[in-house]
Amino acid sequence: MTVCCSRRTVLAAGLAGLAAPAVGAQLAYAADPDYAGDVFVLLSLRGGFDGLSAVVPAGDPAYYAARPTIAVPKTQLIGGDGFFGLHPALAPLLPEWTAGRLAAVQAVGQPAPNRSHFSAMEELERAAPGTSIRTGWLNRMLGSLGSTDPFHAVSMGTARPARVLDGTAPYLGIGSIDGLTLTGDEAAKPIAATMAALYDGAPELMARTAGQLTGALSRAKELRTAGYTPANGAVYPDTDLGAALRDVARLITSDTGLISATVDSGDWDMHENLGPAQPGRRMHDQLNRLALALAAFARDLGPDRMRRVTLITISEFGRRVAQNGSGGLDHGYGNAMFVLGGGVRGGRVYGSWPGLTSGQLRDGDLAVTTDYRAVIGEILRARCGVGDLASVFPGVTASALGLVAAR
């Protein structure tokens, strides 16, 4: 089966338990009338994103001293604000930057350094250091909003959702919308209908869980039947990220009631041959693929729909300030985040810059001056209507960067 739900519903999915066919019609997709916030899209740049290559501190001479062969020359930078500039491979996103819908935050990260991919990502997605909490912060956010429908939260591009969605609120983990089917179900073998009959008249708890699964399959079928053509001449790149963001846009434009979506983008672990800022070099081409996918997503939705969407990027850690002997960068600490959306006060870089001289570094890494949870907290409060931030990020106060306008 290609459907994945929360830990609460995984037993029913494993047993292929479905409720009566009527449940599918009862749960026919429509925008959630009780949610008036933004669709929150979390894009995880897995492997350790180098924020210093993407959002370049050109005004800090120590940056160029630390990266003699891979630093981005000032003459090649785009956008920016005088001190910072963007990598030229991000040019597809320049219209969003210029229009004020794209911003960056520098020197952002976790409360303490952690250079282990697995451990750092675990902590990033749990987001409750020093506590016994084991759920994911995005699931806690959904719970605070009273989410009850699996289509409120979708992990797109994988049937194995990230830890950030672990918890009691239901969600879907799917490789693609068109692939959201019950394996083996067909006219000659109506597996879904047969299994649905097993739960006809079942106790409420079992029927509800099975109904969530049935509803998801029913809505996916309707979406497949309707098809999808990106709007406004948007052309997504032929990449996994492009396909995933296309499907997220498809859910948004189809008014499925989506509250949040997560998408992964890998291959950022560049210990060697990161390369100068030229086409054909590793970092350049990876950044360009990222920019093309995000630009297509924004173009597809258009300014009107983007007014109700906020997308952020996060990564488990940044990279070392100084390049290594292989022309790459080892695991570091401080990093950069991008924020894209209609409510973003964009066209600038936010955060407090700590500097890159030896006395300003944290064990050779960019220091963190802004907790990533505080940045997300500001967005959740201002754009998504999360009032009880402590239930999402215990002990964290939302930042006052002014990064986004309140709805």
Q: What is the pLDDT of residue 11?
A: 26
pLDDT > 80? residue 257: yes
In terms of domains, do 172 and 303 share one?
A: yes
In terms of domains, do 304 and 170 share one?
A: yes
The C-alpha torsion from 146 through 150 and 153 to 155, rounded to 10°, is: 150
In terms of domains, do 64 and 131 share one?
A: yes
In terms of domains, do 67 and 115 share one?
A: yes
HEC secondary structure over the chain: CCCCCCCCCHHHHHCCCCCCCHHHHHCCCCCCCCCCCCEEEEEEECCCCCHHHHEECCCCHHHHHHCCCCCCCHHHCECCCCCCEECHHHHHHHHHHHCCCEEEEEEEECCCCCCCHHHHHHHHHHCCCCCCCCCCHHHHHHHHCCCCCHHHEEEECCCCCCHHHCCCCCCEEECCCCCCCCCCCECCECHHHHHHHCCCCCCHHHHHHHHHHHHHHHHHHHHHHHCCCCCCCCCCCCCHHHHHHHHHHHHHHCCCCCCEEEEEECCCCCCECCCCCCCCCHHHHHHHHHHHHHHHHHHHHHHHHHCCEEEEEECCCCECCCCCCCECCCECCCEEEEEEECCECCCCEECCCCCCCHHHCECCECCCCEEHHHHHHHHHHHHCCCCCHHHCCCCCCCCCCCCECCC
Q: Above pLDDT 90, what percent of the chain?
A: 75
Q: Tens of pLDDT along 177-208? A: 998 876 666 666 666 666 667 777 777 766 66
In terms of domains, do 16 and 67 share one?
A: no
In terms of domains, do 166 and 271 share one?
A: yes
Question: Is residue 161 one of the residues assigned to a domain?
Answer: yes
Identify the domain boundary among 192, 208, 227: 227
pLDDT > 50? residue 261: yes
In terms of domains, do 172 and 222 share one?
A: no
In terms of domains, do 167 and 197 share one?
A: no
In terms of domains, do 359 and 247 share one?
A: yes
In terms of domains, do 327 and 259 share one?
A: yes
Question: Is residue 398 one of the residues assigned to a domain?
Answer: no
pLDDT > 60? residue 22: no
The whole-model pTM stands at 0.90
How many domains does the chain contain in total?
2
Q: Tens of pLDDT along 332-362? A: 999 999 999 999 999 999 999 999 999 999 9
In terms of domains, do 331 and 198 share one?
A: no
Question: Is residue 381 one of the residues assigned to a domain?
Answer: yes
Q: Which domain holds residue 15?
A: 1-30+180-227
Question: Is residue 80 one of the residues assigned to a domain?
Answer: yes
In terms of domains, do 304 and 209 share one?
A: no
Q: What is the pLDDT of residue 165?
A: 95
Question: Is residue 284 one of the residues assigned to a domain?
Answer: yes
